[in-house]
Amino acid sequence: EWVNLNDFLSHILNRFDMMLKNDGVKKYKIRRIFPHQALWVEIDTDKMMQVIDNIMNNAIKYSPDGGLITIRLLQTHKHVILSVSDQGLGIPRKDLSRIFDRFYRVDKARSRKQGGTGLGLAISKEIVEAHHGKIWADSSEGNGSTFYISIPYEKMSEEGDMWDEV
Ligand code: ATP
Ligand code: MG
């Protein structure tokens, strides 16, 4: 399905904003840094929603109350890059490459309290790779984490035709 990423993400993030109205949920602020122009991509919307849900839920789950979550969308020549930054616990450098493994969780005691299975990022990675994309993380322990998703995209003209890449 072809979607305008700005609209697709706004839709998901609005839902996270709405959840703040419920008592008893952890408080957080969402900051969006989106380009003005539409970014059209062909994605499996149900699956990609699952990826963004997990990354957003992780950002909330592994952050203290009141944390700021920044979502950036940017395009390079052939990719769109989505990043989600939090101000949470962070991830030790030695664990960074393993958090995408099935059932891997940083610090079992810490994670057990938070609930979850340790499958979210492994599933996210499968989904992103099925879109010919990449997912990775960067973190500074104690200062927060940033998750990146990059997916290839084709530039489109105003009319919506593909540019010919001869
Ligand atoms: P599930 O997503 O299945 O409910 P989970 O959140 O523990 O469980 P993943 O989403 O796969 O599993 O994340 C794996 C581990 O990576 C987490 O247990 C946590 O230790 C670490 N992690 C993921 N996101 C963050 C984050 N934003 N900040 C700090 N640690 C994180
Ligand atoms: Mg998770």
pLDDT digits (tens, 9 = 90+) for 77-132: 899 999 999 999 999 999 999 999 999 999 876 666 777 889 999 999 999 999 99
Cα–ligand 2 centroid distance for 165 (angstroms): 39
Per-residue pLDDT, 125? 98
Alpha helix segments (H runs only) across the chain? 5-19, 45-61, 108-114, 120-130
Which residue has the least CA distance to atom 5 on ligand 1?
118
Cα–ligand 2 centroid distance for 62 (angstroms): 9
Residue 165 has pLDDT above 70, yes or no: no
Angle at 87 between CA 84 and CA 93, to 5 degrees: 80
Neighbours of 74 (CB within 10 A): 14
Which residue has the least CA distance to atom 12 on ligand 1?
118
Cα–ligand 2 centroid distance for 85 (angstroms): 15
Residue 59 Cα: closest atom of ligand 1? 27
pTM, entire model = 0.92
Which residue has the least CA distance to atom 24 on ligand 1?
58
Average pLDDT over residues 49-74: 96
Reported as a single tens digit per residue, the pLDDT across 121-159 is 999 999 999 999 999 999 999 899 999 999 998 766 555
Per-residue pLDDT, 54? 97
